[in-house]
Structure 1
């Protein structure tokens, strides 16, 4: 069919609009319907960004295995690890392989108000940090101590911060949320996630024995990010503090030196909301994300 050389203005506008709409639709559909995440990010870009980070490799997925992984620790079986879901999830430790395969579950008879961290000592005791405290409101902060070979016996290390007098403090002073802890030398060390504006992770300790304590403030670390987990290298000479999409490395010949070190920042852009970290060996970290990603990172 032949059209006359001059189209009516209304018809020309209609064709132009339809053509533009079709072009936008074709662009948005590239990569599939789910290319855009619900939070407005581009999953393809995130995936590409993560794959381009030197030393970072995706080794598995925790989707359908661990709901909202919020921490990692080595399990008693070599090459296996424990993880767990944070607040709102059941009080269960999920045993996984280094590639995210689920191999077992361990029910812990303790409340999960806001589990955020997990570590173990040299005698096979584990310490679950139920000390997530987003709004700095909690009066019931605690760490659960237990052994996998006697999981029905759980000890409670209850604590309070020596420098918190308001519940909650003013927003700029809310630095009493702790998502990172580890056991070292008879103490459980706590690293706060600064939700105020000081860009500081405060470091506290409590004894590793059940009881009711006022935590001891040891130092403050200049961390330009929010700390979500902590891991100490097997030789004790490197501390890694995980953040959201980043990590901070502190080196030293002793624990005292480490706590005085200037943190080195490493970007993990695209990896997701990184929440769990554990050393596989002196050079390699296993990292989990709340979205279910499982990565290995070879440290520089």
Structure 2
């Protein structure tokens, strides 16, 4: 009886491997970027501090920086380039009414000391958006996902249309300080369940051969692509069999990703790993 009760109380994480619980101050992590095999950097979304945090592979907080010259209007994802620079996606746009979309570029935080880190500002707009907000059937301009590749940042929008269509736009902008017009390079329909199919994070593998998009319980894996539109490659849809508010994903090597979910009542605020093959 005691043995069976112990089994019944064990948390179920589906196909995800549980690594650790994040501290309570990181209950709304919205982006993660892995810099090496030991440290990952995370951010929180709207309503939280203008800070970037380092965690280890068990989810323990190691250090944090206040980001100078940056405001957390709605930070929704992290990306990093081959020089160790970190990019904060300040482009959350739930109501599709923002005209101040931006991305903050930080120097490699692993090399920084003190308590603050300087940010450069990249601003952009979507030329396809004509009204702020557009009508309900065109609520296509929220964004919670991006990655860096070959001098550009690739943004994947989050669908909020009513009725829900599951369609995401893929845009790219130069990873350079200044003001840019986002270029539409592709479109993707994930699935038709608004609870699971909206894109909440993205990353590209270190070798540039795999792109992952994240939903709440799903990973969309793209391989065998060429050019800007990775959705033209081979798609594999993966059900990780764990339904929580999963908001962050990053590669730690060419075959392993880290995932974090937000706190929701008694669930979430966990760090997981998943092996793609």
TM norm structure 2 = 0.86
User: Is 1:126 aligned to 2:97, yes or no?
Assistant: no
Query: Which of the two has higher C-alpha Rg?
Result: 1
Of 88, 100, 112 in structure 1, the residue corresponding to residue 47 of structure 2 is 88
Q: CA deviation at 1:65?
A: 4.8
What per-residue deviation string (whole Å, max 9, x for no partner) do you get for residues 83-127 of structure 1?
111100001111000110111001102100100011111112111
Q: Is 1:199 matched with 2:166?
A: yes
CA distance in structure 1 between the aligned counterparts of 2:228 and 2:130, rounded to whole angstroms: 29
Q: How many residues align?
A: 253
CA distance in 2, matches of 1:254, 1:277: 22
Task: Give a deviation string over 1:184-218, Cα, whole Å, max 9, x none.
Answer: 11111100011113321100111111111111111
The equivalent residue for 1:107 is: 66
Contact 2:37 2:252 in 1 (8 A): no
Shift in Å at residue 271 of structure 1? 4.6
Structure having the higher helix fraction is 1
Matched, 1:263 2:235: yes
Structure 2 runs not aligned, ≥5 long: 192-196, 264-268
8 A contact 2:224–2:233 mirrored in 1: yes
Where does structure 1 lack aligned partners over 5 or more consecutive residues?
1-30, 32-42
How far apart are residue 58 of structure 1 and its match?
Answer: 0.7
Matches within 5 A, 1:6-25: none
Cα distance change, pair 262–200 in 1 and its aligned pair in 2 (3 A): farther
Structure 1 residues 238-291: Cα deviation after superposition (integer angstroms, max 9, x where no partner) = 100011121111111545573302532212333511111111112211100112
The answer to whether the 8 A contact 1:272-1:293 is kept is no
1:63 aligns with 2:28: no
Question: What residue in structure 2 maps to residue 180 of structure 1?
Answer: 145
**8 Å contact kept, 1:237–1:254:** no
1:217 aligns with 2:184: yes
Contact 2:171 2:185 in 1 (8 A): yes
Equivalent position SS for 2:119: strand
